[in-house]
Structure 1
Amino acid sequence: MKRLCSYLSVSRSGYYVFLKRSPSNLELENDALSEYIRTIFFEHKGRYGARRIQVTLKRKYGFSISRKRIERLLRKQGLYTKGIRRKYRKQPTIREANPNLLKQQFYAKKANQIWFGDISYIPTQEGMLYCSVFIDCYSRKCAGFAIRTHLRDSLVIDSLEAAIHQEKPNNGLIIHTDQGCQYTGHRFYECAMQYHFTHSQSRKGNPYDNAVMESFYKSFKREILPGKQFRTKSQAILTIMDYLETYYNYERIHSSLNYLTPHEFETINEFA
């Protein structure tokens, strides 16, 4: 802890005071407002900026919020309106991104050597859901996932810990993700270090470096999302859980596995 505090240029006493501090009313209010702002942003497919979101908040929910406050909350979540000429100033992260260790070599000799992770959003008529998934490079199995109503780093940490609980990987596992703020923050870094994992990250703006997850979410959205939005969040959660826990690993055949399911592929090669 002393080394971490020194690295982050904070005092240990200040860190422990921070741990005990309860969120202020303003922080709680901003968290709630962020959910409404994010929902409006994605409902309009990123076409609404701060001014239109301000009007929508007033008309739909009766909230009178300043435009600058909305801009600040959009910026904090990394949400940018389509066609914007000026990008918001890049927010500093705790550390620089990790190197890309895989270099688009998507192959593993056995299970739980390499995991790929990413996040996707699931629209419903009650608002947005976010799904974080980790896929095993070896068998393309869904190792673990989490579904939440927010995009905070706890979303990806929860899905990683679910995968660890399910698969119990050994030290040295490589986790490959993009450079999203959920993965570059210190909490995800500390979680990976706690389990002695190595974190690899795609190059900036290069989706091909995480092609396994791009392919997964393409199939996921095509096969699970209805023609229109889910009516309720609970309906969406139940459908996603059934797909990932039952269908995807045990029933869905994969062309990259010679048309075997992930479970069949692992079972066959375990005794090969």
Structure 2
Amino acid sequence: MRYRFILDNATDFSVRTLCRVMRVTASAWYAWRKKPAEPLQKDVEVRVRLKALFAASRQGAGSRTLVKRLRGEGIIISRWRVRKLMQEEGLVCRQRRTYKVTTKHRPGAEVAPNLLNQNFNPPGPNQVWASDITYLKTGEGWLYLAAIMDLYSRQIVGWQVDRRMTSSLVCGALMKAYNLRTRPPGLVVHTDRGAQYTGQRFQALLSSYSQATLF
């Protein structure tokens, strides 16, 4: 509309000159002039419904979903138009994070004593490590991350990424941390009671690090 106002009222200049100044082609200008303008009332109604549907989705609906819902209400609209309206109205889709369980208890697993006893502030480095598993959603699917934190410095001292949440994941993180920290003596390793940590492989690895303790 701004371009149209300028071109319609600048009678002292040619269309090509004005198009060059406004950085649009003359052919695009003439094509736009021939295109019937969308009624203002209809445009407002579409915008109102679009924002209402977006709000009802708790800001989770994208252009594809909104096109389907608008068409379901009898509004003929393209996905390109919906994208443009969303951009003009500042409607940004917020993808809700899918919850995935990372702690799976192993039936019959022996529970080690809780040596930490809620004391998450050890007096020095490499005395208490805490380990856990989280997950990352990537373009190629889910990836699982096992990390080990030194509770004294709050630094990640070991980590491992894998496509599967297995004992190899947590063992890799522990081996990396133990080797990088030059085999710290008297170490306590604190984890949850997930099957990856209570399994034989991880327990055997802890046993090989003679003074490391799991709880």
Per the normalisation by structure 1, the TM-score is: 0.40
Distance 1:126 1:193, change over 3 A: same
* Distance in 1 between residues matched to 2:157 and 2:182, nearest whole Å: 10
**In structure 2, how many angstroms separate the alpha carbons of the residues matched to 1:135 and 1:98?**
20
Distance in structure 1 (CA, Å) of the matches to 2:112 and 2:190: 10
1:1-272 alignment to 2 at 5 Å? 45=99, 78=104, 92-93=107-108, 95-196=109-210, 197-200=212-215
Separation (CA, whole Å) in 2 of partners of 1:102 and 1:163: 19
Distance 2:183 2:209 in 1: 9
Q: Deviations over 1:173-208 (max 9, x none)?
A: 0000001100011111110110111111xxxxxxxx
- Distance in 2 separating the partners of 1:44 and 1:124: 12
Amino-acid identity (%): 37
Deviations 1:130-155 (A, max 9, x none): 00000001111111101111101000
How far is the alpha carbon of 1:92 from its aligned partner? Answer: 2.6
The 1-side partners of 2:98 and 2:150 are apart by 34
CA gap 1:109/1:127 in 2 versus in 1, 3 angstroms: same
Instruction: Name the CA distance, whole Å, in 2 between partners of 1:157 and 1:113.
Output: 19
Kindly provide the CA deviation profile for residues 42-75 of structure 1, in whole angstroms up to 9, marking residues without a partner as x. x9646xxxxxxxxxxxxxxxxxxxxxxxxxxx9x
Cα distance change, pair 115–45 in 1 and its aligned pair in 2 (3 A): closer
- Specify the SS of the correspondent of 1:179: coil
Q: Which has the larger radius of gyration?
A: 2
- The one-letter code matched in structure 2 to 1:143 is V
Question: How many residues are paired up?
Answer: 117
Structure-1 separation of matches of 2:200 and 2:185:
20
Q: Which runs of 5+ in 2 are unaligned?
A: 1-96
Distance in 2 of aligned mates of 1:188 and 1:45 = 26
RMSD of the alignment, in Å? 2.2
Counting helix residues as a fraction of each chain, which structure ranks higher? Answer: 1
> Is this contact kept in 1: 2:106–2:195, CA < 8 A?
no
Distance 1:91 1:173, change over 3 A: closer
- 1:106/1:124 CA distance change after superposition, 3 Å: same
Equivalent residue number for residue 10 of structure 2: none
Q: Structure 1 stretches (4+) deviating beyond 3 angstroms?
A: 43-46
User: Which amino acid in the other structure matches residue 198 of structure 1?
Assistant: T
Scaled by the length of structure 2, the TM-score of the pair is 0.50
- Do 1:116 and 1:175's aligned partners in 2 also have CA atoms closer than 8 Å? yes
Which amino acid is 2:107 matched to?
P
Structure 1: which 5+ residue stretches go unaligned? 1-42, 47-73, 79-89, 201-272
Matched residue, 1:264 = none
Residue pair 1:108, 1:114 contacting (<8 A) in 2 also: yes
